[in-house]
Amino acid sequence: MTYNGIYISRLCAWAPGIETPGEWDEWAQGRRDISFDSKGPELAFTEPMFRRRLSQISKMTVQVIHDLLSPRDEARIFFLSFRGELSRQYQINKMLIEENELMPAAFSLSVFNAPAALAAIALGLKGGYSALYPAGKNPFAAGLDAAAAALLHKAASHPQGGAEIAFVYADEQPPPEYEAVSQGSPPPAAFGLLLSTRQHGGELRPFSVPLSSFSADAAPLAFLRKLLMSGDIHVSA
């Protein structure tokens, strides 16, 4: 689909080994690499008991959404992942095989929508969320299409005020046990786009770049690199 009338007004990202907006620019230029490890952000803004049990993908998702939205925002979150809670699913399978039982708490944190749900809980967000695992030859583009279609539908229902949504991608480092089948997989990373049908400016929405300027016909991190290489968009601190 075309993205006419949709603007990127904020970009936030987190990955192991990349800590600043300048380092993200260096990564886009091929001068810095994302680390292939299971490290996650510290999430100092959450309670210790909350963050203690979170997986890497949930920590990255919470961090990116925290940086992308303010507590007062009611933007719906569209969360997209290809691996989901892979480490937790592996632990659940291992538990079932070895112990023939499953802890309810472990299962509740392993479901595909867990990262987005945990972010909403941690940040007190009330805009709702959708968890996407799109199919097709280009699943990332399909996921972005779904988010864009929902945004345009919302804007049509509120023509005076415009509309916003948060589009978030995240994938974690696969467990070591999957090494034989995960060769060539992209590194762990998360990024989020604040998409709007209005042009903005300001601290939370520092730019308004037409989404139609970029083709989503690429893998998630390749798409992120295209955004940064344009020079019009930078990761927000």
Specify the higher pLDDT residue, 86 or 180.
86
Express each pLDDT in 149-176 by its tens digit. Answer: 999 999 888 766 679 999 999 999 998 8
- Name which of 65, 84, 191 is nearest 131 in CA terms: 84
Residue with tokens 């345009």, as numbered in its chain:
152
* Residue 236 forms part of a structural domain: no
For residues 109 and 50, give the distance between their C-alpha atoms in angstroms, rounded to a whole number. Answer: 12
Structure tokens at 80: 């997209």
- Name which of 10, 126, 4, 111 is nearest 67 in CA terms: 10
Determine the pLDDT at residue 184: 73
* Residue 19 forms part of a structural domain: yes
Determine the pLDDT at residue 217: 85
Total tally of structural domains belonging to the chain: 1
Residue environment code for 25-55, b if the CB has 16+ CB neighbours within 10 A, otherwise e:
bebbeeeeebeeebebbebeebeeeebeebb
3-state SS, residue 165: strand
* Residue 122 forms part of a structural domain: yes
- Name which of 156, 231, 190, 199 is nearest 15 in CA terms: 190
For residues 116 and 53, give the distance between their C-alpha atoms in angstroms, rounded to a whole number. Answer: 15
Determine the pLDDT at residue 179: 78
* Residue 234 forms part of a structural domain: no
- Taking residues 144-148, what's their average pLDDT? 95
Q: How many CB atoms lie within 10 A of CB 105?
A: 9
* Residue 237 forms part of a structural domain: no
Q: Which CATH number do you get for residue 213?
A: 3.40.47.10
* Residue 127 forms part of a structural domain: yes
* Residue 72 forms part of a structural domain: yes
- Is residue 190 predicted with pLDDT exceeding 80? yes
- Taking residues 7-20, what's their average pLDDT? 96
Determine the pLDDT at residue 234: 95
* Residue 235 forms part of a structural domain: no
CB 140 within 8 A of CB 222: no
- Taking residues 116-145, what's their average pLDDT? 91
Residue-averaged pLDDT of the chain = 90
CB 86 within 8 A of CB 178: yes
Residue with tokens 């192991």, as numbered in its chain:
16
Express each pLDDT in 44-90 by its tens digit. Answer: 999 999 999 899 999 999 999 999 998 777 899 999 999 898 888 87
Determine the pLDDT at residue 69: 93
For residues 198 and 9, give the distance between their C-alpha atoms in angstroms, rounded to a whole number. Answer: 9
Determine the pLDDT at residue 159: 66
Determine the pLDDT at residue 42: 96
Q: Could you tell me the pTM of the whole model? A: 0.93
- Is residue 186 predicted with pLDDT exceeding 80? yes
Cβ neighbors of 92 (< 8 A, separation 6 or more) are 102, 106, 107, 110
Q: What is the residue range of 51's domain?
A: 7-229
Determine the pLDDT at residue 91: 79
List the alpha helices (DSSP H) in 32-162. Answer: 48-51, 56-68, 86-99, 104-108, 114-123, 139-157
Determine the pLDDT at residue 161: 64
pLDDT band at 198 (very low <50, low <70, confident <90, very high): confident
- Is residue 182 predicted with pLDDT exceeding 80? no
